[in-house]
Structure 1
Amino acid sequence: MVEPTGYDLLLKGGRVICPATGVDGIRDVGVRGGRIAAVADAILPTSAAQTVDVSGKLVLPGLIDTHGHIYQYVTGRFGLDPDMVGVRSGVTTVVDQGGPSCMTLPGFRHFIAERSETNVLCFLSAYLVGGLEGHFYPNLYSPDGVDIDATVRSAVANRDLVRGIKGHAEIGGFARWGIKVMEMAAEIARRAEIPLYVHFGQLWGLPESGANGEDADTILERVIPLLKEGDVLAHPFTRHPGGFVNAEGELHHVLQAAIDRGLTVDVGHGSHFSYRLAKMALAAGVVPHTLGADMHGYNTQVPEIPAPAGTPEEHADDENHPFKGQARFSLTQAMSSMMTLGLPLDYVVKMVTTHPAKMLGMEDSLGSLAVGRVADVSVLDDVRGRFVLRDNEDYRVIAERLLQPAFCLRAGKRFDADSPILPQAIAA
């Protein structure tokens, strides 16, 4: 049988950047049967059923968002429609961070992963309740709310979907229960032989009795010894207490040694991100490996889902919810932030392709435009000018280069970047 030479789709004339294969230059990409069939200097348009001119655009392996909140409805007002965060934002793979638990994973598989056009994965919550609105219900996140054996069994039995465990190392939890929950989360990840993704930065607030003798600036150095190679330190640039920069404005001394022994760092952009602290950490040599956008219902729009029963009265109305007025974020805007902070484009592309593929243990299937791979491709506009980017401290930077999603291919199927939750460019 003669192998067909024609292509279903030809992406012509874009700048192809694929760190996995070492390609960076103007190339044509041919797609056939939902897979990459060719990456070449020039492919005749007559050889393709459809040709799309992508001149002046970036053509990248399908972007991987390592930090999403897409367990819609089940995680209250945090959970977004997965395709709004994914393919309709130019992103082909989204990793839900801690939405499902061992109890709720079957629903996540059936209603989210299997019904989404986006390739959906997850880091399983260490807590039985999963990713509920913890700032309203912190007591659900005590050691009594963790079942180590059940969570290990669930993670091992669902390895196709569960690529890691999510835990929280933050002052609100430490003030209530000390380090016990983090010890349990680390044990789950060790026994399941998957990474542990650790949230740093205050999240749930302090109990009425205050910090109960706990100091947010000691959390990092106490948690790192629990972690193994491949575990992930998240929110390095958080504006909240308990992050990489201490109260004196100094980078924690234990970080470089942790990175040297194989721990990695994920930006976890979203509501925690601070340009001011990012500049300090980057200047001190802490360069994140991966770039999760951390989009959720509070930093994309005022949630339409009603506040859950038992919500404190002052937060029950959407107009008064605790995240009101936050800046919008997306994965491509987070990429623009990293470039504005001085990281080169080729490294930023690695942060959303090859590096997360390695973090997920999926280098053989994600993060590459190699011939024969599933045709997950993200096409971005590379816009030049002067644009205002701001964080939730209302700290503003001027970006001279803004990456914006044009469309993506997910297994060869095209999706335009028309998500209504994408941030709009603001000219300086």
Structure 2
Amino acid sequence: MKQKSFLIITLILFLTNTLHAQQQSESEKPYSIVIKGGHVIDPKNNINTLMDIAIKDGKVVLVAKNIDGSMATQLVNAVGMYVTPGLIDAHVHFFWGHDGTSYMNAPAGLPADGFTFPSGVTTVVDAGSPGWKTFELYKKQTISGSQTRVLVMLNIVGQGMAGGKYENDINEMDPQKAAEMAKKYPNDIVGFKLAHYNGRTWEPTDRLLAAGKLANLPVMVDFGGANPFLPLDSLFNVKFRPGDIYTHAFGGNGSASLNGRESIVDISTNKVKPYVIKAQKRGVIFDVGFGGSSFLFNQGIPAIKSGFYPNSISTDLHTGSMNNAMKNMPNIMSLFIALGMDLQSVIKASTWNPAQEIKRPDLGNLSVGAEADIAIFTLRNGEFGFYARDGKISGKNRLETEMTIRAGKIVYNLNAIAEPNVLQNPPRQRPANSEVKPSTK
């Protein structure tokens, strides 16, 4: 019996020491992850070729032609795939809750991590869901509770995007208080937003711009409607500073009507209006903000055909848009490829461009030393369809997210392309004697 016990103890010690040695060996490897064989597109660094990427301590530590995969704890096989910086979605609505209305602390908003990582998105900008009165609740509920990096364009309306009652109340638009909140939280607030105001006055826009000037931050405008509409030429070339953002750029009334919201393409000539081109050249930012119905093919097709590309591709992600024509970032990126944009331009408009728009040049790139936010895509070939409120188009390619890495950790892995594949949050194990006993009451 003593000999048997001795053998059992010896075996346990051997297995323990072997496991410890293996763990020590893994921790001593130079890299935590190596991504091998992928086609890297990094617009900031002008990379558009086959490269390997090494990650350690949450950072990109090497981008090179051939990195030894055995030097990593995890090896990702990206052969035949595209490797890009983690996507930046510059227009989302993530103030999810039940105590508010519209997109402010309400069910129409979304919890971040469930709708970012499966799309290759690692950073989002919430476009005005919280205002200066509700931002601190948003920070507690959404920013602090998300692995996704969540930044905010603070609504000039105090309550935020709480619906028409609030969004059409000019008295709720306080530049000083908005600027004070932005200065209090400079790591979270990257600009200011005006949305959905209906009426023919520049007062809301002027108050928005006042906040932007006080805090030295860009502003984003989403016009409501007016009869007749407020002229975009005045917004772009009189009101806006270089770096200010017009979202839903390919929307509007899409017609010759003088009511509602003006569009950027003149449908009588099928050309982008000259003052729009002038504005983009002087630094005004044109953002897609596809949304539930904020994109028109009669705007997008002639614009892209003429070489007028959006500065940033974004979703306007909420419960309505994700289950409608929009769906997610890869779908909209694929739509713009179908319209005629090349893949590298689409990636740039989804990574490096929005990083610069929000004054965060540390994001949207794969520079050595950058936080390892990375997306891996397959570009599928086939027959695909894309639609909007004014029709549909076909395309030959569709981007599909294979993997998302956030801060050096794999957070989404569609086809198990890592070796080993490790569950980041393995299921809890019930203790052996934890059977639930019937109540005796």
TM-score range normalised by the length of the shorter chain: 0.7 to 0.9
Displacement after TM superposition at 1:276 (Å): 2.5
Q: Indicate which of 76, 80, 83 corresponds to 2:110.
A: 80
Q: Give distance in 1, aligned partners of 2:168 and 2:265.
A: 25
| Contact 1:195/1:230 (<8 A) preserved | yes
1:96 aligns with 2:108: no
The residue identity in structure 2 corresponding to 1:96 is D
3-state DSSP of counterpart to 2:62: strand
Q: Deviations over 1:63-96 (max 9, x none)?
A: 1110111111252243111112322322000110
1:182–1:103 CA distance, 2 compared to 1 (3 A) = same
| Contact 2:161/2:167 (<8 A) preserved | no
Aligned to 2:337: 339
Q: Give distance in 2, aligned partners of 1:147 and 1:200.
A: 18
1:247–1:54 CA distance, 2 compared to 1 (3 A) = closer
Give the unaligned 5+ runs of structure 2: 1-26, 254-260, 415-441
Displacement after TM superposition at 1:32 (Å): 0.9
Displacement after TM superposition at 1:374 (Å): 0.8
Aligned to 1:242: 262
Higher RCO (C-alpha 8 Å, min separation 6) = 1
Aligned to 2:15: none
3-state DSSP of counterpart to 2:129: coil
Aligned to 1:259: 280
1:366 aligns with 2:363: yes
Aligned to 2:235: 223
Q: Deviations over 1:310-347 (max 9, x none)?
A: xxxxxxxxxxxxxxxx3242111111111111111111
| Contact 1:85/1:94 (<8 A) preserved | no
Q: Give distance in 1, aligned partners of 2:326 and 2:310.
A: 21
1:349 aligns with 2:376: no
Aligned to 1:316: none
The residue identity in structure 1 corresponding to 2:241 is K
Q: Give distance in 1, aligned partners of 2:166 and 2:350.
A: 34
3-state DSSP of counterpart to 1:36: strand
Aligned to 2:408: 412
Aligned to 1:149: 176
Q: Give distance in 2, aligned partners of 1:407 and 1:35.
A: 17
| Contact 2:176/2:214 (<8 A) preserved | no
Displacement after TM superposition at 1:182 (Å): 1.1
Aligned to 1:162: 189
Greater Cα radius of gyration, structure 1 or 2: 2
Report how many aligned residue pairs link the two structures.
Answer: 372
1:411–1:95 CA distance, 2 compared to 1 (3 A) = same
3-state DSSP of counterpart to 1:401: strand
Displacement after TM superposition at 1:275 (Å): 2.1
Q: Deviations over 1:174-201 (max 9, x none)?
A: 24xx221111111111111100111146
Q: Deviations over 1:17-39 (max 9, x none)?
A: 11112221111111111111211
Aligned to 2:89: 65
- Give aligned-pair identity as a percent: 27
1:46 aligns with 2:78: no
Q: Give distance in 2, aligned partners of 1:300 and 1:342.
A: 23
| Contact 1:87/1:417 (<8 A) preserved | no
Displacement after TM superposition at 1:250 (Å): 5.8
Q: Give distance in 2, aligned partners of 1:284 and 1:260.
A: 15
Aligned to 1:304: none
Q: Deviations over 1:347-385 (max 9, x none)?
A: 11110111111111111x101111111110011111111
Q: Indicate which of 293, 313, 317 corresponds to 2:315.
A: 293
Displacement after TM superposition at 1:269 (Å): 1.5
Aligned to 1:398: 394
The residue identity in structure 2 corresponding to 1:345 is L
Aligned to 2:58: 34
Q: Give distance in 2, aligned partners of 1:353 and 1:4.
A: 33
* More displaced stretch, 237-246 vs 285-294: 237-246
3-state DSSP of counterpart to 2:146: coil
Displacement after TM superposition at 1:114 (Å): 1.3
Q: Give distance in 2, aligned partners of 1:256 and 1:230.
A: 15
Give the unaligned 5+ runs of structure 1: 203-210, 302-325, 419-428
1:377–1:236 CA distance, 2 compared to 1 (3 A) = same
The residue identity in structure 2 corresponding to 1:59 is V
Q: TM-score, normalised by structure 2?
A: 0.80
Q: Indicate which of 184, 188, 197 corresponds to 2:207.
A: 184
